[in-house]
Amino acid sequence: MQLLKYLQAQGLGSRKQCQALIADAAVQINDMVCTDTRMDIDPQTVSSLKIDDVNLIPVPLPHFYIRLHKPADYETSHKPQYYPSVFSLLPEPLRHLDMQAVGRLDADTTGVLILTNDGQFNHRCTSPKHKLPKIYRVSLKHAADDKLCTILKNGVLLHDDNETVQAEAAELIDAHTLLLTITSGKYHQVKRMVAAAGNRVIALHRCAFGSWQADDLPIGGWRFFQPESDQM
């Protein structure tokens, strides 16, 4: 990959803007000043990237994958309406790259969220036929017993959906805390399932998305990972 295209792929600006960075000798890759727009860059060998002596985190190419510990009051959208976008939690210039969330989390829901520019990976993770498990820690408004778990595992009819949805697993941690595993991804599914079972969700945290978690990250923190090697 030529240096000019590499810088554009890092989100560092338009072709003209990246040409100006190179012409100004502002670009350092692996501590070497790079001034040739046609210089060949192997993204796999880039361990450090600096622009005007400012360290940037090199974006893995051609595809990147991010684990994000989503805080409350952030929208999973590039065009948020009421709260900031989860993409604003990423640093410049990463937040401007073309990427999508793998599934969504409601604004008030916290926990692991995967971001990527790999459309095939996104499809595999969200396709119903793959039944990727998602584990949620649910804070309940009303005290519950094992009857709630039985109802959820047997299946509930979602309001306005006319379809019965079953939990893969359901376990009470205490009377007000439920650990719920689902393999589908309907709109507001956990909240609607709990409501259909006669209770109410007052807080929701996604502990795991497939094999990936984010509780090792600070709230709002993120990290690149490789799907085949990251077994959180």
Average pLDDT of adjacent 10-residue blocks, the chain of 232 residues: 96 95 97 96 96 95 96 96 97 91 95 97 91 96 97 92 91 98 91 96 97 96 85 41
User: How many residues are there in the chain?
Assistant: 232
Residues 80 and 114 in one domain: yes
CATH number assigned to the domain comprising residue 74: 3.30.70.580
DSSP β-ladder status, 156-157 and 110-116 = unpaired
Of 151, 150, 208, nearest in space to 183 by CA: 208
- Same domain for 113 and 78: yes
Separation between Cα atoms, residue 99 and residue 87, nearest integer Å: 9
In a 3-state reduction of DSSP, which class is residue 140? strand
The amino acid occupying position 125 is: C
Would you say 12 and 93 are in contact if contact means Cβ atoms under 8 Å apart? Answer: yes
146 catalytically annotated: no
Position 12 in a domain: yes
Among 98, 106, 160, 215, which one carries the catalytic annotation?
106
- Per the listing, tokens 């090697």 go with 229
The SS3 of residue 3 is helix
Indicate the pTM of the whole model. 0.90
119 and 141 within one domain = no
Rounded Cα gap, residues 6 and 49, in angstroms: 11
Is 232 inside a domain boundary?
no
Q: Which two tokens stand for residue 26?
A: 């502002």
What lies within 8 Å, CB to CB, of 213 at 6+ separation is 67, 112, 207, 232
The total of structural domains in the chain comes to 3
Claim to verify: residue 218 and residue 109 sit in the same structural domain: yes
CA-based radius of gyration for the chain: 21
Domain that holds residue 8: 3-56
Is 51 a member of any domain?
yes
How many angstroms separate the CA atoms of 192 and 136, rounded? 14
Amino acid at 206: R
Torsion of CA 88, 91, 95, 101, to 10 degrees: -70
34 and 143 housed in the same domain: no
- 162 and 202 fall within a common domain: yes
Residue 29 lies in a domain: yes
Q: How many CB atoms lie within 10 A of CB 80?
A: 15
